[in-house]
Amino acid sequence: MSYKIRGLKKEYKGFKLYIDELSLYKGEIFCLLGPSGAGKTTLLRLLNFLEKPDEGEVLYGNKKYTSQNYLPPLEAMRQITTVFQRPALLKDTVWNNIIYPLKIRKEIIDKEKVMGVVEELGLTNLIKQRSETLSGGEAQRVALARALIFKPQVLLLDEPTANLDPGNIKIIEEMVLKYTFQEKPTVVWITHNHFQAKRVGHRICLMDKGCIVEARDKDTFFRSPKHQKTKEFLSGEMFF
């Protein structure tokens, strides 16, 4: 499912997000880079329709949403999901956590299909374990399995690999790449790590102070950035 954003505005105390124009396409991984407080998470929440904008419009699928009607029907909402930086799991077994989205959609649980995702994320031995006993990396893999189990058309990733070890990062990156290749969802991936953006992204976008600084295809973004702020960000100067 694609998005077309125009004049999107969201204001909090001391913070303003303004996206003049942005398109997100089916089958691409769109990486959002930027310093803390740049507005990346706010944009993600708006894309998940968990937050209402003050102004502007979002064309999602074939329907236009504005601040007046920023609540798509449940079926449309259920095509979108977010994996957050800190995995929040139910105090239950790994299996019950993974099938939760299927249960709330009253879908038939195909054990083989579920086990397929479980195996790919290396969770087979943990399936009966309770979520409270998992390590950070294991919990995040469960969160990703839970997000992919119902085959979302929009996958929003809010720094899902921050603070994870390289082994877990690799598993998560490979799984998202494979899912994107097979199911052609729209993926928006927030990361602080531009090496990761280089590895997984098709298009890269730099945000700062609530606005988009530059959004280009990966090669152009990294090889010949146009904006001074992008150059500073890539050289690490923007952090200091």
Partner 1 sequence: MEGLAESLKLLFTFDPYVYDIIGLSLRITGVALFFATIIGVPLGTLLGLTNFKGKPVVTALLYTGMGFPPVVIGLFVFLLYSAVGPLGHLGWLFSTRAIITAQTIISFPMVAGFTMAAVMSVDKNLMKQLKALGATGLQASWAAIKEARVGVLVSIIAGFGAIISEVGAVMLVGGNIEGKTRVLTTAIVLETRQGNFGVAIAFGIILLTITFIANLSMIYLQKRHMFE
| Strand 203-208 relative to strand 29-33, pairing | parallel
DSSP H helices, 13-160, are: 40-47, 74-77, 94-104, 111-120, 136-148
Residue selected from 56, 101, 201, 225 as contacting partner 1 according to rule CB under 8 A:
101
Q: How far is the CB of 220 from partner 1 (least distance, A)?
A: 32
Residues in 163-192 at the binding interface with partner 1, rule: CB under 8 A = none
Looking at beta carbons only, is 86 or 111 nearer to partner 1?
A: 86
The amino acid present at 69, given as its one-letter code, is N
Contact segment (CB under 8 A) with partner 1 among 10-18, 52-60, 96-104, 133-141 equals: 96-104
Q: How far is the CB of 84 from partner 1 (least distance, A)?
A: 6
**Is 160 an interacting residue with respect to partner 1 (CB under 8 A)?**
no
Residue selected from 150, 162, 183, 218 as contacting partner 1 according to rule CB under 8 A:
150
Residue 185, classed as helix, strand or coil, is coil
Residues in 111-140 at the binding interface with partner 1, rule: CB under 8 A = 132
| Strand 63-66 relative to strand 55-60, pairing | antiparallel
**Is 84 an interacting residue with respect to partner 1 (CB under 8 A)?**
yes
Please check whether residue 188 is in contact with residue 25, taking contact to mean a CB–CB distance below 8 angstroms: no
Ramachandran quadrant class, 46 (left: phi over 0; alpha: psi -120 to 50; beta: rest): alpha
**Is 146 an interacting residue with respect to partner 1 (CB under 8 A)?**
yes
The amino acid present at 108, given as its one-letter code, is I
Residue selected from 21, 50, 174, 239 as contacting partner 1 according to rule CB under 8 A:
50
Q: List, in sequence order, every beta strand (DSSP E) within the chain.
A: 3-12, 15-24, 29-33, 55-60, 63-66, 80-83, 154-158, 186-190, 203-208, 211-217
Contact segment (CB under 8 A) with partner 1 among 17-25, 80-88, 193-201, 218-226 equals: 80-88
- Residues in contact with partner 1 by CB under 8 A are 48, 50, 74, 77-78, 80-82, 84, 86, 88-91, 100-101, 104-105, 132, 143, 146-147, 150, 156
